[in-house]
Structure 1
């Protein structure tokens, strides 16, 4: 289990760095698009397509990081109201359902990427499958992060992250 948790730590760190890189690319190209359109009155034909694809990649890689840090929408209020064992069971069930969802997304994303492999992105000579590949690739990172969260919860770490007290305001 420790080896898997170390692997998840590395893979989620990689997902974070890639997500940030794609977000920087998207923001930079969006700025480039605005400048070429409104300053030079000659809009770029390719930057919008790459911006959109980079945003999709950023989101799907960033979701793994969100699961790792417990930042996804959850049923935390209900979990905290229940007895610890029942709350843990609800946590595990919610995460198991998430694994099923992202497994289906992986499968469908893979199928979609295969279907569009011969199509090209608008204004570019690049397969649109590269944009659709964000679904299966992101799903793998997400599933790894969810399974690691379930392992940590089974080892007794599910309540500690959620029940940490908020720092009190000092006056």
Structure 2
């Protein structure tokens, strides 16, 4: 049950990230094309591309936790004996989880404060841009817990 839900969440995250990347590439292409052809471009394309890049980065970070692809101390940890290795992995996971909880809490506060601020070209509430901070904190926390449990079981 847990695995099925997590797989769906991660698949949706990957699909959204791929879609945002496609949209961003198309926007940059349109910006370049209009600049070359008309010596002018739409001001909103650069802004939207920037916001999509932010979302892609944060969503990609959460996807990387699914594959345990973040930078780590594998060389050192793999040389440790069994129980010490597990202790080190749990301590590392607790430190990461603490940071993710801060991301969730402070990101939520930032969204609340920035609802009245709008972006220059799109007139979009900046809370929509900043919403990825707590969202990615939640996604990274879920994937971190899952990968840590799997490491404890199979190592």
**Aligned residue pairs: how many?**
155
Q: TM-score, normalised by structure 1?
A: 0.85
Are residues 1:155 and 2:148 paired? no
Q: Look up the match of 1:95.
A: 93
Give distance in 1, aligned partners of 2:17 and 2:150: 24
Give distance in 2, aligned partners of 1:139 and 1:66: 13
Q: Look up the match of 2:69.
A: 71
Give distance in 1, aligned partners of 2:115 and 2:135: 16
Contact 1:78 1:87 in 2 (8 A): no
Q: Look up the match of 1:142.
A: 140
Greater helix share, structure number: 2
Equivalent residue runs for 1:44-59 within 5 Å: 44-59=42-57
- 1:48-88 CA-partner distances (Å, limit 9, x unpaired): 11101111111111112111111100110111110122112
Q: Any stretches of 5+ residues in structure 2 without a counterpart?
A: none
Q: Look up the match of 2:27.
A: 29
1:125 CA drift (Å)? 2.7
Of 36, 39, 52, the match for 2:37: 39
- 1:65-117 CA-partner distances (Å, limit 9, x unpaired): 11111110011011111012211221221122111111101111111111110
Q: Secondary structure at the residue paired with 1:117? A: helix
Q: TM-score, normalised by structure 2?
A: 0.93
Give distance in 2, aligned partners of 1:6 and 1:94: 26
Give distance in 1, aligned partners of 2:138 and 2:106: 13
Give distance in 2, aligned partners of 1:100 and 1:4: 22
- Give the alignment's Cα RMSD to 1 decimal: 1.3
